[in-house]
Amino acid sequence: MNENSYNQYLAESSGWLHTGRSALIARILGFFAPRDQVALDILEIGAGAGQNVPVLSRHGVVDVLEVDEKGLVELRKRTDVRLVIDQGIPCQLDRSYDIICAFDVIEHLEDDRGTMQWISDNLKPGGLCLVTVPAHPWFFTRHDQALGHHRRYTRQSFRAIIPTNLERLADSHFNTVLFPLAILARWAWVVKNLFTRVVDLNKQPVPSQGMLSGILLSIFLKEIEATRPETSRSFGLSYYACLKKKA
Residue from 163, 164, 133 nearest 241 by CA:
133
Residue from 14, 97, 16 nearest 52 by CA:
14
91 with 84: CB under 8 angstroms?
A: no
Phi then psi dihedrals of residue 151, to 5 deg: -170, 165
Tell me what pLDDT residue 65 has: 98
Average pLDDT score, the chain: 92
25 with 32: CB under 8 angstroms?
A: no
pTM value? 0.93
- Which tens digit of pLDDT belongs to each residue from 66-88? 999 999 999 999 999 999 999 99
110 with 159: CB under 8 angstroms?
A: no
Question: What's the number of CA atoms in the CB half-sphere (13 Å) around residue 97?
Answer: 30
- Which tens digit of pLDDT belongs to each residue from 155-214? 999 999 999 999 999 999 999 999 999 999 998 988 887 776 555 567 788 877 789 999
- Which tens digit of pLDDT belongs to each residue from 110-168? 999 999 999 999 999 999 999 999 999 999 998 899 899 999 999 999 999 999 999 99
